[in-house]
């Protein structure tokens, strides 16, 4: 059973719908027992970094997630804010993230001549693979995904970077480190491309 | 490269899909669930759904219908129509819609937009501005619930909308609605020059080159109704959406502007 972690940070229904469409079985839950028992985890999230950290701590999921991911090596997929929470911390807030990947989260900054570029980065954009990863297995040609975000990752370790995307400059759009997978974009809103990625997470990871 | 979003905009009336001309004569098009399924299969960039009489009827959004629509879609979606409270807005967002679209309620009270942006995040809040020309040809902010134009200057209103935290403006030309005569490019220029948030052009698209012209005039995204649901000069109902490479050819030239 896959558990889509519900910690009060945005809508998770479409992720559940998409997992079910691939034939996977999943539930939405913020319940400690469910998370403890999960075979795989999805950590979604839309909203502010510190709120995400606080909510996970308040409902008692922080330590359990740490244990599941670091000790049990349970596969986890972070989406958008979920991905950012995997880092050491974010310019958006003051609290520490999980620190599962050597990375920090920073706000988009553009050079003088590119000030007209709008933040958030919102819409469909391409991804360019830097290394192979199970989540991009059998992906359709010219994959494009839906993004909505103002912050992005800076990875210290290049081998964690699965894909990059261009918006003003290049930024990290997907990562993988062992059992830890994450995307800055929203696979659950990205038609067949997202469906393939979710299918891979359900079937292969 | 970020692609220009091309967004079908569907109108609801009493649970059915309709299409208007200059905000009048709503013609029944079909079943919304079926239409959303088709648009999902066609892999559209985004979908907007507007209930055109929810505010006037005063009964709020049709949550049951929206929840059924939400289940069909693996794409970004926005909904507008009859949203008066934060609770209603949150409930829409819980039904797999990313964006709530506010129109009449913003005209009454921009504080509501501010509150929504604070709680739900600016990226989820779109303010729709309907614009109608007066007898002297000046663009005026139009209230669709009472059919009256407002005193406030269009650009002043647009700036206030942005300052109150809206993430996007859906700029709709009443005069071009359903005409296939192309977007009102001056209108797009006027508003996109005074705000930093994305302006989504709506009203008048009749051919692919209209999208390109709207983008060239400052629109960050383009929306259309009739263009995607009518076909041929007799306006037979047929749901279509251009192929990615067709759109790429007309829009690519301008997409550099969004980078």
Q: What is the DSSP string of B73-87?
A: --S-EEEESS--SHH
Residues 130-169 of chain B with CB under 8 A from chain A are 167
Query: Picking from A186-190, B20-24, B72-76, which range would have the lowest pLDDT averaged per residue?
Result: B72-76
Cβ–Cβ contact A80 with B under 8 A: no
In this prediction, residue B63 has a pLDDT band, given cuts at 50, 70 and 90, of very high
Q: Is the pLDDT of residue A32 over 90?
A: yes
Cβ <8 Å between B121 and A192:
no
Q: Span A148-152, mean pLDDT?
A: 95
Our count of domains for chain B comes to 1
Q: Which helix (H) or strand (E) holds A85?
A: helix A81-85
- Chain A residues closer than 8 Å to B95 by CB: 11, 13
Which of A17, A125, A190 minimises the CB distance to B1?
Answer: A125
Chain A nearest C-alpha distance from B212 (Å): 17
> How high is the mean pLDDT of chain B?
94
Chain B nearest C-alpha distance from A163 (Å): 14
Q: Span A117-145, mean pLDDT?
A: 94
- Chain B residues closer than 8 Å to A124 by CB: 2-3, 5, 45
Cβ <8 Å between A118 and B198:
yes
Cβ <8 Å between B70 and A192:
no
CA-to-CA distance for A16 and A27, rounded, in angstroms? Answer: 7
Q: Which domain holds residue B226?
A: 5-258
CA distances in angstroms from B203 to A154, B23, B209, listed in the order given: 41, 10, 14
CA-to-CA distance for A165 and A175, rounded, in angstroms? Answer: 12
Cβ–Cβ contact A72 with B under 8 A: no
Q: Is the pLDDT of residue B257 over 70?
A: no
Which of A11, A123, A167 minimises the CB distance to B94?
Answer: A11
Tell me the fold of A2-203.
Answer: Rossmann fold (3.40.50)
Condensed to tens digits (0 to 9), the pLDDT of residues B113-145 reads 999 999 898 999 999 999 999 999 999 999 999
Q: Is the pLDDT of residue B95 over 70?
A: yes
> What local confidence, expressed as pLDDT, does residue B259 receive?
45
> What local confidence, expressed as pLDDT, does residue A115 receive?
61
- Residue B15 CB coordination number (10 Å): 12
In this prediction, residue A114 has a pLDDT band, given cuts at 50, 70 and 90, of low
Closest residue of chain A to B198, computed from CA coordinates = A118
Q: Span A53-73, mean pLDDT?
A: 98
> What local confidence, expressed as pLDDT, does residue A47 receive?
86
Cite the beta strand spans of chain A per DSSP E: 2-5, 26-29, 40-43, 76-79, 103-107, 121-126, 128-129, 144-149, 151-155, 161-167, 169-177, 180-183
Q: Of A36, A186, A191, A203, which is the active-site residue? A: A186
Angle, CA A11 vertex, CA A15 and CA B80 arms, to 5°: 115
Closest residue of chain A to B72, computed from CA coordinates = A17
CA distances in angstroms from A121 to A44, B12, B38, B86, listed in the order given: 18, 30, 27, 25
CA distances in angstroms from B8 to A88, A140, B42, B249, listed in the order given: 40, 24, 11, 19
Query: Picking from A190-194, B7-11, B235-239, B254-258, which range would have the lowest pLDDT averaged per residue?
Result: B254-258
Condensed to tens digits (0 to 9), the pLDDT of residues B203-223 reads 999 999 999 999 999 999 999
Task: Give the CA-trace dihedral at B200, B203, B207, B212, to 10 degrees.
Answer: -30
Cβ <8 Å between B76 and A146:
yes
Q: How many residue pairs bridge chain A and chain B with CB atoms within 8 Å of each other? A: 78
Tokens of residue B156, six digits: 């002043």
Cβ <8 Å between A11 and B220:
no
Q: By the 8 A CB rule, do A194 and B74 touch?
A: yes
Catalytic residue check, A91: no
> What local confidence, expressed as pLDDT, does residue B254 receive?
55
> What local confidence, expressed as pLDDT, does residue B258 receive?
46
Q: By the 8 A CB rule, do B208 and A110 touch?
A: no
Task: Give the CA-trace dihedral at A184, A186, A190, A196, to 10 degrees.
Answer: 80
Q: Span B82-96, mean pLDDT?
A: 95
> What local confidence, expressed as pLDDT, does residue B59 receive?
86
Cβ <8 Å between A47 and B121:
yes
Tokens of residue B137, six digits: 């040809």
Cβ <8 Å between A123 and B196:
no
Residue B27 sits in a domain of what CATH number? Answer: 3.20.20.70
| Phi/psi at A30 (5° precision) | -115, 15
Helix residue spans in chain B (DSSP H): 32-41, 54-57, 63-71, 86-93, 104-108, 110-120, 154-163, 185-194, 208-216, 226-229, 244-255
Q: Span A38-67, mean pLDDT?
A: 96
Residues 34-93 of chain B with CB under 8 A from chain A are 40, 43, 45, 70-71, 73-76, 93
Cβ <8 Å between A189 and B94:
no
Q: By the 8 A CB rule, do B140 and B154 touch?
A: yes
> How high is the mean pLDDT of chain A?
95
- Mention every residue, 6+ apart, whose C-beta is less than 8 A from residue B214: B183, B185, B188, B201, B205, B222
% of residues, chain A, pLDDT over 90:
89
Q: Span A179-190, mean pLDDT?
A: 97
> What local confidence, expressed as pLDDT, does residue A52 receive?
95
Cβ–Cβ contact A31 with B under 8 A: no
ipTM value of the model?
0.91
Q: By the 8 A CB rule, do A6 and A30 touch?
A: yes
Q: Which of B105, B179, B114 shows the shortest CA–CA distance to B143?
A: B105
- The residues of B carrying an active-site annotation are 130
Cβ <8 Å between A13 and B2:
no
> What local confidence, expressed as pLDDT, does residue A119 receive?
86
Cite the beta strand spans of A6-140 per DSSP E: 26-29, 40-43, 76-79, 103-107, 121-126, 128-129
In this prediction, residue B179 has a pLDDT band, given cuts at 50, 70 and 90, of very high
Match 């958006």 to its residue by tokens. Answer: A92
| Higher-pLDDT residue of A94, B244 | A94
State the distance between the two ends of chain B, measured CA to CA, in whole angstroms: 7
CA-to-CA distance for A204 and A134, rounded, in angstroms? Answer: 7
Catalytic residue check, A203: no
Condensed to tens digits (0 to 9), the pLDDT of residues B145-176 reads 999 999 999 999 999 999 999 999 999 999 99
């Amino acid at each position: 059973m896959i558990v889509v972690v519900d910690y009060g940070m945005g809508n998770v229904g479409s992720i559940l719908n998409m997992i079910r469409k691939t034939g996977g079985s999943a539930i939405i839950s913020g319940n400690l027992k469910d998370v403890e028992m999960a075979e795989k985890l999805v950590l979604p999230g839309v909203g502010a970094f510190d709120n995400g950290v606080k909510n996970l701590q308040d409902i008692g999921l922080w330590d359990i997630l740490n244990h599941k991911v670091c000790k049990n090596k349970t596969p986890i997929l972070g989406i958008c804010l979920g991905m950012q929470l995997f880092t050491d911390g974010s310019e958006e807030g003051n609290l520490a993230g999980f620190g599962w990947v050597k990375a920090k989260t920073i706000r988009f900054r553009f050079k003088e001549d590119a000030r007209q570029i709008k933040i958030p980065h919102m819409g469909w954009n391409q991804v360019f693979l830097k290394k192979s990863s199970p989540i991009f297995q059998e992906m359709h040609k010219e994959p494009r995904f839906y993004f909505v975000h103002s912050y992005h990752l800076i990875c210290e370790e290049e081998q964690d970077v699965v894909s990059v995307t261009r918006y003003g400059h290049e930024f990290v759009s997907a990562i993988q480190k062992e059992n830890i997978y994450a995307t800055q974009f929203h696979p659950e809103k990205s038609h067949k491309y997202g469906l393939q990625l979710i299918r891979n997470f359900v079937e292969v990871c | 490269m970020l692609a220009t979003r091309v967004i079908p905009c569907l109108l609801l009336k009493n649970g059915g899909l309709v299409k208007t001309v200059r905000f009048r004569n709503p013609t029944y098009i079909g079943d919304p669930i079926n239409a959303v399924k088709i648009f999902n299969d066609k892999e559209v960039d985004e979908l907007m759904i507007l209930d055109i009489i929810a505010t006037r009827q005063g009964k709020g959004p049709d949550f049951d219908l929206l929840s059924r629509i939400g289940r069909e879609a693996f794409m970004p979606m926005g909904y507008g129509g009859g949203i008066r409270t934060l609770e209603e807005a949150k409930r829409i967002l819980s039904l797999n819609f990313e964006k709530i679209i506010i129109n009449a309620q913003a005209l009454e009270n921009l504080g509501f937009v501010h509150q929504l942006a604070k709680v739900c995040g600016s990226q989820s809040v779109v303010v729709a501005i309907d614009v109608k020309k007066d007898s002297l040809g000046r663009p005026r902010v139009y209230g669709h619930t009472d059919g009256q134009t407002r005193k406030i200057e269009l650009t002043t209103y647009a700036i206030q909308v942005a300052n109150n935290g809206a993430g996007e403006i859906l700029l709709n030309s009443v005069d071009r609605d359903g005409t296939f005569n192309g977007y009102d490019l001056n209108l797009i220029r006027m508003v996109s020059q005074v705000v930093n948030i994305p302006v989504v052009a709506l009203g008048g698209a009749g051919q692919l080159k209209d999208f390109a012209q709207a983008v060239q005039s400052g629109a960050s995204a383009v929306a259309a109704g009739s263009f995607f649901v009518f076909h041929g000069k007799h306006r037979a109902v047929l749901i279509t959406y251009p192929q990615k490479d067709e759109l790429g050819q007309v829009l690519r030239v301008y997409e550099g502007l969004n980078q």
